[in-house]
Structure 1
Protein backbone atom coordinates (compact mmCIF):
# COMPACT_ATOMS: atom_id res chain seq x y z
CA UNK A 1 0.00 0.00 0.00
CA UNK A 2 1.32 3.42 -0.95
CA UNK A 3 1.57 5.87 1.94
CA UNK A 4 1.02 9.58 1.44
CA UNK A 5 3.52 11.24 3.74
CA UNK A 6 2.22 14.69 2.84
CA UNK A 7 -1.34 14.01 4.01
CA UNK A 8 -2.43 16.58 6.56
CA UNK A 9 -5.90 16.35 8.06
CA UNK A 10 -7.53 19.34 9.75
CA UNK A 11 -10.49 18.42 11.95
CA UNK A 12 -12.71 19.73 14.70
CA UNK A 13 -13.62 16.17 15.73
CA UNK A 14 -11.79 14.81 18.75
CA UNK A 15 -12.61 11.22 17.77
CA UNK A 16 -11.30 11.73 14.23
CA UNK A 17 -8.11 13.34 15.54
CA UNK A 18 -7.55 10.44 17.93
CA UNK A 19 -8.10 7.76 15.29
CA UNK A 20 -5.98 9.47 12.62
CA UNK A 21 -3.29 10.38 15.13
CA UNK A 22 -2.57 6.68 15.55
CA UNK A 23 -1.43 6.50 11.91
CA UNK A 24 2.22 7.58 11.54
CA UNK A 25 1.66 8.56 7.89
CA UNK A 26 -1.01 11.16 8.63
CA UNK A 27 -0.35 14.55 10.20
CA UNK A 28 -3.42 15.64 12.14
CA UNK A 29 -4.33 19.16 13.20
CA UNK A 30 -7.08 19.40 15.82
CA UNK A 31 -8.75 22.79 15.87
CA UNK A 32 -9.16 24.48 19.24
CA UNK A 33 -12.39 26.01 20.48
CA UNK A 34 -15.44 25.32 22.58
CA UNK A 35 -15.99 21.62 23.20
CA UNK A 36 -19.39 20.03 22.55
CA UNK A 37 -19.62 16.70 24.43
CA UNK A 38 -22.73 15.72 22.44
CA UNK A 39 -20.76 15.59 19.19
CA UNK A 40 -17.19 15.30 20.53
CA UNK A 41 -16.26 18.29 18.38
CA UNK A 42 -15.03 21.83 18.87
CA UNK A 43 -16.60 24.97 17.45
CA UNK A 44 -16.72 28.73 17.92
CA UNK A 45 -14.71 31.82 17.08
CA UNK A 46 -11.28 30.41 17.99
CA UNK A 47 -11.76 27.26 15.92
CA UNK A 48 -12.92 29.29 12.91
CA UNK A 49 -10.05 31.74 13.31
CA UNK A 50 -7.56 28.86 13.28
CA UNK A 51 -9.37 27.14 10.38
CA UNK A 52 -9.09 30.31 8.28
CA UNK A 53 -5.29 29.88 8.29
CA UNK A 54 -5.67 26.74 6.16
CA UNK A 55 -6.59 26.08 2.55
CA UNK A 56 -8.22 22.66 2.29
CA UNK A 57 -8.02 20.51 -0.83
CA UNK A 58 -10.91 18.24 0.15
CA UNK A 59 -13.52 18.53 2.86
CA UNK A 60 -15.37 15.44 4.07
CA UNK A 61 -18.38 16.76 5.92
CA UNK A 62 -20.60 14.50 7.98
CA UNK A 63 -24.10 15.96 8.22
CA UNK A 64 -27.52 15.38 9.78
CA UNK A 65 -29.63 15.89 6.66
CA UNK A 66 -29.47 16.58 2.93
CA UNK A 67 -32.40 17.28 0.66
CA UNK A 68 -33.02 18.75 -2.76
CA UNK A 69 -35.26 21.41 -1.22
CA UNK A 70 -33.16 22.52 1.79
CA UNK A 71 -29.61 21.50 0.95
CA UNK A 72 -27.29 20.41 3.75
CA UNK A 73 -28.72 20.76 7.25
CA UNK A 74 -27.77 20.14 10.87
CA UNK A 75 -29.37 19.58 14.25
CA UNK A 76 -26.59 21.59 15.93
CA UNK A 77 -26.94 25.35 15.31
CA UNK A 78 -23.81 26.23 17.31
CA UNK A 79 -21.63 24.18 14.93
CA UNK A 80 -23.07 25.68 11.75
CA UNK A 81 -20.53 28.47 11.44
CA UNK A 82 -17.51 26.17 11.59
CA UNK A 83 -19.08 23.95 8.92
CA UNK A 84 -19.66 27.01 6.73
CA UNK A 85 -16.05 28.13 7.25
CA UNK A 86 -14.80 24.66 6.28
CA UNK A 87 -16.88 24.78 3.09
CA UNK A 88 -15.59 28.26 2.26
CA UNK A 89 -11.96 27.15 2.69
CA UNK A 90 -12.26 23.90 0.71
CA UNK A 91 -11.55 23.39 -2.98
CA UNK A 92 -13.83 20.32 -3.04
CA UNK A 93 -16.74 19.65 -0.68
CA UNK A 94 -17.74 16.02 -0.16
CA UNK A 95 -20.76 15.33 2.05
CA UNK A 96 -21.10 11.95 3.74
CA UNK A 97 -24.51 10.72 4.88
CA UNK A 98 -26.13 7.34 5.32
CA UNK A 99 -29.51 6.65 3.70
CA UNK A 100 -31.44 7.82 6.78
CA UNK A 101 -30.21 11.39 6.24
CA UNK A 102 -30.99 11.69 2.51
CA UNK A 103 -34.26 13.49 1.80
CA UNK A 104 -34.24 14.80 5.36
CA UNK A 105 -34.19 18.41 6.50
CA UNK A 106 -32.96 19.32 9.99
CA UNK A 107 -33.06 22.42 12.16
CA UNK A 108 -30.61 24.74 10.38
CA UNK A 109 -29.13 24.99 6.90
CA UNK A 110 -25.36 24.68 6.56
CA UNK A 111 -25.13 25.00 2.78
CA UNK A 112 -27.15 24.94 -0.40
CA UNK A 113 -26.61 22.12 -2.89
CA UNK A 114 -24.67 24.40 -5.24
CA UNK A 115 -21.92 24.58 -2.59
CA UNK A 116 -21.53 20.79 -2.59
CA UNK A 117 -19.46 18.83 -5.11
CA UNK A 118 -20.21 15.25 -4.07
CA UNK A 119 -22.49 13.20 -1.85
CA UNK A 120 -21.35 9.79 -0.65
CA UNK A 121 -24.20 7.66 0.64
CA UNK A 122 -25.38 4.08 0.54
CA UNK A 123 -27.65 2.32 -1.94
CA UNK A 124 -30.60 2.43 0.48
CA UNK A 125 -30.94 6.19 -0.04
CA UNK A 126 -34.24 7.23 -1.70
CA UNK A 127 -33.68 6.99 -5.46
CA UNK A 128 -36.06 9.84 -6.31
CA UNK A 129 -34.23 12.24 -3.97
CA UNK A 130 -30.84 11.12 -5.32
CA UNK A 131 -31.97 11.86 -8.89
CA UNK A 132 -33.04 15.38 -7.96
CA UNK A 133 -29.79 16.03 -6.06
CA UNK A 134 -27.80 14.83 -9.10
CA UNK A 135 -29.85 17.09 -11.40
CA UNK A 136 -28.85 19.99 -9.15
CA UNK A 137 -25.18 19.31 -10.06
CA UNK A 138 -24.01 17.17 -7.14
CA UNK A 139 -22.11 14.01 -8.03
CA UNK A 140 -23.58 11.10 -6.04
CA UNK A 141 -21.53 8.06 -5.11
CA UNK A 142 -23.42 5.05 -3.76
CA UNK A 143 -21.48 2.59 -1.63
Structure 2
Protein backbone atom coordinates (compact mmCIF):
# COMPACT_ATOMS: atom_id res chain seq x y z
CA UNK A 1 0.00 0.00 0.00
CA UNK A 2 1.29 3.45 -0.90
CA UNK A 3 1.96 5.87 1.96
CA UNK A 4 -0.57 8.33 0.52
CA UNK A 5 -3.25 5.62 0.43
CA UNK A 6 -2.46 4.65 4.03
CA UNK A 7 -2.69 8.26 5.22
CA UNK A 8 -5.98 8.64 3.36
CA UNK A 9 -7.37 5.67 5.30
CA UNK A 10 -6.07 7.13 8.57
CA UNK A 11 -7.90 10.37 7.77
CA UNK A 12 -11.07 8.41 7.10
CA UNK A 13 -10.74 6.65 10.46
CA UNK A 14 -10.32 10.02 12.16
CA UNK A 15 -13.50 11.23 10.46
CA UNK A 16 -15.37 8.18 11.70
CA UNK A 17 -13.96 7.77 15.22
CA UNK A 18 -12.33 11.15 16.04
CA UNK A 19 -9.20 9.39 17.34
CA UNK A 20 -6.72 6.69 16.31
CA UNK A 21 -4.29 4.44 18.18
CA UNK A 22 -0.70 3.87 17.00
CA UNK A 23 -0.53 0.19 17.96
CA UNK A 24 -3.86 -0.61 16.30
CA UNK A 25 -2.87 1.23 13.13
CA UNK A 26 0.43 -0.65 13.09
CA UNK A 27 -1.39 -3.99 13.21
CA UNK A 28 -4.04 -2.90 10.70
CA UNK A 29 -1.52 -1.83 8.05
CA UNK A 30 1.13 -4.40 9.02
CA UNK A 31 3.86 -1.78 9.35
CA UNK A 32 6.03 -0.52 12.20
CA UNK A 33 4.83 1.91 14.84
CA UNK A 34 7.70 4.18 13.76
CA UNK A 35 6.16 4.49 10.28
CA UNK A 36 2.71 5.17 11.74
CA UNK A 37 4.13 7.91 13.96
CA UNK A 38 5.74 9.52 10.90
CA UNK A 39 2.34 9.45 9.16
CA UNK A 40 0.70 11.11 12.16
CA UNK A 41 3.47 13.68 12.34
CA UNK A 42 2.88 14.62 8.70
CA UNK A 43 -0.89 14.83 9.17
CA UNK A 44 -0.35 16.97 12.26
CA UNK A 45 1.81 19.36 10.23
CA UNK A 46 -1.14 19.71 7.83
CA UNK A 47 -3.41 20.71 10.71
CA UNK A 48 -5.59 17.60 10.52
CA UNK A 49 -4.84 16.06 13.92
CA UNK A 50 -3.06 16.48 17.23
CA UNK A 51 -0.77 13.71 18.37
CA UNK A 52 -1.33 12.27 21.83
CA UNK A 53 0.45 9.66 23.91
CA UNK A 54 -0.01 6.49 21.86
CA UNK A 55 -2.20 7.98 19.16
CA UNK A 56 -3.87 11.10 17.79
CA UNK A 57 -7.17 12.99 17.84
CA UNK A 58 -8.97 14.92 15.13
CA UNK A 59 -8.52 18.68 15.41
CA UNK A 60 -11.73 20.50 16.32
CA UNK A 61 -10.39 23.57 14.53
CA UNK A 62 -9.98 21.68 11.26
CA UNK A 63 -13.02 22.47 9.02
CA UNK A 64 -15.36 19.49 9.00
CA UNK A 65 -16.13 19.87 5.30
CA UNK A 66 -12.51 19.03 4.62
CA UNK A 67 -13.22 15.53 5.94
CA UNK A 68 -16.06 14.69 3.61
CA UNK A 69 -15.69 12.00 0.93
CA UNK A 70 -15.18 14.83 -1.58
CA UNK A 71 -12.00 15.83 0.26
CA UNK A 72 -10.81 12.22 0.54
CA UNK A 73 -11.33 11.90 -3.22
CA UNK A 74 -8.80 14.66 -3.85
CA UNK A 75 -6.16 12.58 -2.05
CA UNK A 76 -6.04 10.01 -4.88
CA UNK A 77 -2.48 8.71 -5.30
CA UNK A 78 -0.55 8.64 -8.62
CA UNK A 79 -1.01 4.88 -9.05
CA UNK A 80 -4.79 5.19 -8.82
CA UNK A 81 -4.75 8.08 -11.29
CA UNK A 82 -2.69 6.08 -13.78
CA UNK A 83 -5.01 3.07 -13.52
CA UNK A 84 -8.02 5.34 -14.11
CA UNK A 85 -6.35 6.90 -17.15
CA UNK A 86 -5.65 3.49 -18.68
CA UNK A 87 -9.19 2.28 -17.92
CA UNK A 88 -10.79 5.33 -19.52
CA UNK A 89 -9.38 4.36 -22.92
CA UNK A 90 -11.38 1.13 -22.90
CA UNK A 91 -14.65 3.07 -22.71
CA UNK A 92 -16.11 3.99 -26.08
CA UNK A 93 -18.96 6.19 -27.22
CA UNK A 94 -22.43 4.60 -27.37
CA UNK A 95 -21.67 1.86 -24.83
CA UNK A 96 -23.72 0.65 -21.85
CA UNK A 97 -21.37 0.19 -18.90
CA UNK A 98 -21.34 -0.37 -15.16
CA UNK A 99 -18.91 1.66 -13.05
CA UNK A 100 -18.22 0.55 -9.49
CA UNK A 101 -17.40 2.45 -6.35
CA UNK A 102 -14.13 3.56 -4.75
CA UNK A 103 -11.24 5.85 -5.54
CA UNK A 104 -10.18 4.44 -8.92
CA UNK A 105 -13.70 4.33 -10.36
CA UNK A 106 -14.32 7.87 -9.15
CA UNK A 107 -11.17 9.00 -10.93
CA UNK A 108 -12.40 7.28 -14.10
CA UNK A 109 -15.57 9.37 -13.87
CA UNK A 110 -13.50 12.54 -13.93
CA UNK A 111 -12.12 11.58 -17.36
CA UNK A 112 -15.34 10.29 -18.91
CA UNK A 113 -17.07 13.64 -19.56
CA UNK A 114 -15.16 13.74 -22.88
CA UNK A 115 -17.18 10.73 -24.09
CA UNK A 116 -20.53 10.91 -25.90
CA UNK A 117 -23.77 8.94 -25.86
CA UNK A 118 -22.68 6.67 -23.04
CA UNK A 119 -25.12 5.05 -20.68
CA UNK A 120 -23.45 4.52 -17.33
CA UNK A 121 -25.04 2.60 -14.49
CA UNK A 122 -23.19 3.15 -11.24
CA UNK A 123 -23.50 2.57 -7.51
CA UNK A 124 -20.91 5.33 -7.02
CA UNK A 125 -22.64 8.59 -6.04
CA UNK A 126 -19.38 10.55 -6.15
CA UNK A 127 -18.79 9.35 -9.72
CA UNK A 128 -22.35 10.16 -10.78
CA UNK A 129 -21.87 13.78 -9.71
CA UNK A 130 -18.80 14.08 -11.93
CA UNK A 131 -20.43 12.29 -14.86
CA UNK A 132 -23.47 14.55 -14.99
CA UNK A 133 -21.24 17.51 -15.77
CA UNK A 134 -21.52 16.25 -19.35
CA UNK A 135 -25.11 16.38 -20.69
CA UNK A 136 -24.13 13.85 -23.39
CA UNK A 137 -23.93 11.10 -20.76
CA UNK A 138 -26.93 9.12 -19.56
CA UNK A 139 -26.21 8.37 -15.91
CA UNK A 140 -28.31 5.87 -13.94
CA UNK A 141 -27.74 5.47 -10.20
CA UNK A 142 -28.37 1.99 -8.84
CA UNK A 143 -31.12 1.90 -6.22
CA UNK A 144 -30.39 0.71 -2.71
CA UNK A 145 -29.06 1.89 0.63
CA UNK A 146 -26.90 5.01 0.54
CA UNK A 147 -23.62 4.88 2.47
CA UNK A 148 -19.91 5.62 2.51
CA UNK A 149 -17.36 2.98 1.48
CA UNK A 150 -13.62 3.69 1.87
CA UNK A 151 -14.38 7.41 1.91
CA UNK A 152 -16.71 7.45 -1.13
CA UNK A 153 -20.47 7.86 -1.40
CA UNK A 154 -22.15 4.80 -2.86
CA UNK A 155 -24.97 2.24 -2.93
CA UNK A 156 -23.68 -1.07 -1.61
CA UNK A 157 -26.77 -3.31 -1.87
CA UNK A 158 -28.25 -2.66 -5.32
CA UNK A 159 -28.73 -6.42 -5.83
CA UNK A 160 -31.50 -6.50 -3.18
CA UNK A 161 -33.89 -4.25 -5.07
CA UNK A 162 -33.94 -6.21 -8.34
CA UNK A 163 -32.79 -3.01 -10.04
CA UNK A 164 -30.10 -4.85 -12.04
CA UNK A 165 -32.15 -7.91 -13.00
CA UNK A 166 -32.95 -6.98 -16.61
CA UNK A 167 -29.71 -5.21 -17.52
CA UNK A 168 -26.80 -6.35 -19.67
CA UNK A 169 -23.59 -4.34 -19.87
CA UNK A 170 -21.03 -3.97 -22.64
CA UNK A 171 -18.37 -3.62 -19.95
CA UNK A 172 -18.17 -3.71 -16.16
CA UNK A 173 -15.45 -1.77 -14.33
CA UNK A 174 -14.78 -2.69 -10.70
CA UNK A 175 -11.99 -1.90 -8.26
CA UNK A 176 -11.14 -4.63 -5.76
CA UNK A 177 -9.44 -4.81 -2.36
CA UNK A 178 -7.73 -8.15 -2.91
CA UNK A 179 -6.52 -10.46 -5.71
CA UNK A 180 -5.40 -14.01 -4.97
CA UNK A 181 -4.75 -16.95 -7.27
CA UNK A 182 -6.37 -19.18 -4.64
CA UNK A 183 -9.50 -17.20 -3.83
CA UNK A 184 -9.84 -14.74 -6.72
CA UNK A 185 -11.13 -11.17 -6.36
CA UNK A 186 -12.48 -9.78 -3.11
CA UNK A 187 -13.74 -6.60 -1.43
CA UNK A 188 -14.18 -5.47 2.17
CA UNK A 189 -17.99 -5.19 2.07
CA UNK A 190 -20.31 -8.20 1.71
CA UNK A 191 -23.20 -6.23 0.18
CA UNK A 192 -20.87 -4.62 -2.35
CA UNK A 193 -19.54 -8.09 -3.17
CA UNK A 194 -23.04 -9.36 -3.97
CA UNK A 195 -23.71 -6.33 -6.17
CA UNK A 196 -20.47 -6.98 -8.08
CA UNK A 197 -21.31 -10.67 -8.47
CA UNK A 198 -24.65 -9.62 -9.94
CA UNK A 199 -23.25 -7.18 -12.51
CA UNK A 200 -20.35 -9.45 -13.50
CA UNK A 201 -22.90 -12.11 -14.46
CA UNK A 202 -24.52 -9.60 -16.84
CA UNK A 203 -21.60 -8.78 -19.12
CA UNK A 204 -19.08 -10.38 -21.42
CA UNK A 205 -16.28 -8.10 -20.26
CA UNK A 206 -15.21 -7.63 -16.65
CA UNK A 207 -12.38 -5.13 -16.25
CA UNK A 208 -10.73 -5.34 -12.83
CA UNK A 209 -8.76 -2.33 -11.61
CA UNK A 210 -6.34 -2.72 -8.71
CA UNK A 211 -3.20 -1.15 -7.29
CA UNK A 212 -0.12 -3.38 -7.11
CA UNK A 213 -0.57 -3.67 -3.32
CA UNK A 214 -3.83 -5.60 -3.83
CA UNK A 215 -2.10 -8.65 -5.35
CA UNK A 216 -1.47 -11.65 -3.08
CA UNK A 217 -4.06 -10.27 -0.72
CA UNK A 218 -7.41 -11.61 0.47
CA UNK A 219 -10.24 -9.39 1.60
CA UNK A 220 -13.47 -10.17 3.44
CA UNK A 221 -15.92 -11.03 0.65
CA UNK A 222 -15.07 -13.08 -2.46
CA UNK A 223 -16.48 -11.86 -5.79
CA UNK A 224 -15.27 -14.69 -8.01
CA UNK A 225 -12.42 -16.82 -9.32
CA UNK A 226 -9.26 -15.35 -10.94
CA UNK A 227 -10.59 -16.09 -14.44
CA UNK A 228 -13.64 -13.87 -13.82
CA UNK A 229 -11.78 -10.88 -15.28
CA UNK A 230 -11.31 -10.35 -19.00
CA UNK A 231 -8.78 -7.53 -18.43
CA UNK A 232 -6.61 -6.48 -15.49
CA UNK A 233 -5.50 -2.87 -15.10
CA UNK A 234 -2.82 -1.95 -12.60
CA UNK A 235 0.06 0.53 -12.61
CA UNK A 236 3.14 -1.58 -11.94
CA UNK A 237 4.51 -4.99 -12.84
CA UNK A 238 2.74 -7.75 -10.91
CA UNK A 239 4.20 -10.93 -9.34
CA UNK A 240 5.43 -13.44 -11.90
CA UNK A 241 2.99 -16.17 -10.88
CA UNK A 242 0.10 -13.80 -11.58
CA UNK A 243 1.52 -12.82 -14.97
CA UNK A 244 1.86 -16.51 -15.86
CA UNK A 245 -1.69 -17.28 -14.77
CA UNK A 246 -3.29 -14.40 -16.67
CA UNK A 247 -1.22 -15.15 -19.77
CA UNK A 248 -2.25 -18.82 -19.73
CA UNK A 249 -5.91 -17.79 -19.43
CA UNK A 250 -5.72 -15.13 -22.18
CA UNK A 251 -6.39 -12.29 -19.74
CA UNK A 252 -4.37 -9.22 -20.79
CA UNK A 253 -2.73 -7.19 -18.04
CA UNK A 254 -2.12 -3.47 -18.51
CA UNK A 255 0.39 -2.06 -16.07
CA UNK A 256 1.86 0.88 -17.97
CA UNK A 257 0.28 3.65 -19.96
CA UNK A 258 0.90 2.72 -23.62
CA UNK A 259 -1.93 4.37 -25.50
CA UNK A 260 -1.02 2.80 -28.85
CA UNK A 261 -1.27 -0.71 -27.37
CA UNK A 262 -4.61 0.09 -25.76
CA UNK A 263 -6.13 1.53 -28.90
CA UNK A 264 -4.94 -1.47 -30.91
CA UNK A 265 -6.43 -3.96 -28.44
TM category, shorter: 0.7 to 0.9
Q: 2:101 matched to which residue of 1?
A: none
In structure 1, C-alpha distance between the alignment counterparts of 2:242 and 2:116, rounded to whole Å: 39
Q: 2:166 matched to which residue of 1?
A: 53
Render the CA deviation track for 1:35-77: whole Å, top value 9, x for unaligned. 222342113212xx11122210000111111121211011111
SS of equivalent residue, structure 1 residue 56: coil
In structure 2, C-alpha distance between the alignment counterparts of 1:54 and 1:5, rounded to whole Å: 20
How many matched pairs? 140
In structure 2, C-alpha distance between the alignment counterparts of 1:102 and 1:21, rounded to whole Å: 33
Structure 1 unpaired stretches of 5+: none
SS of equivalent residue, structure 1 residue 73: strand
C-alpha displacement at 1:78, in angstroms?
2.0
TM-score, length of structure 1 as denominator length: 0.87
C-alpha displacement at 1:4, in angstroms?
4.9
Moved more, 114-123 or 126-135: 126-135
TM-score, length of structure 2 as denominator length: 0.49
Moved more, 65-74 or 32-41: 32-41
C-alpha displacement at 1:81, in angstroms?
0.9
C-alpha displacement at 1:98, in angstroms?
0.9
Are 1:10 and 2:124 matched, yes or no?
no
Are 1:140 and 2:253 matched, yes or no?
yes
Matches within 5 A, 1:76-95: 76-95=189-208
For the pair shown, the structure with the greater C-alpha radius of gyration is: 2
In structure 2, C-alpha distance between the alignment counterparts of 1:113 and 1:59, rounded to whole Å: 16
Q: Which has the higher helix share?
A: 2
The counterpart of 1:68, out of the listed 177, 181, 187, is: 181
Q: Which has the higher strand share?
A: 1
Render the CA deviation track for 1:64-123: whole Å, top value 9, x for unaligned. 111212110111112111010110111210000011112211112101122211110011
Contact 1:43 1:78 in 2 (8 A): yes
CA RMSD of aligned residues (A): 1.9
Moved more, 120-129 or 110-119: 120-129
Are 1:22 and 2:130 matched, yes or no?
no
Structure 2 unpaired stretches of 5+: 1-92, 94-113, 257-265
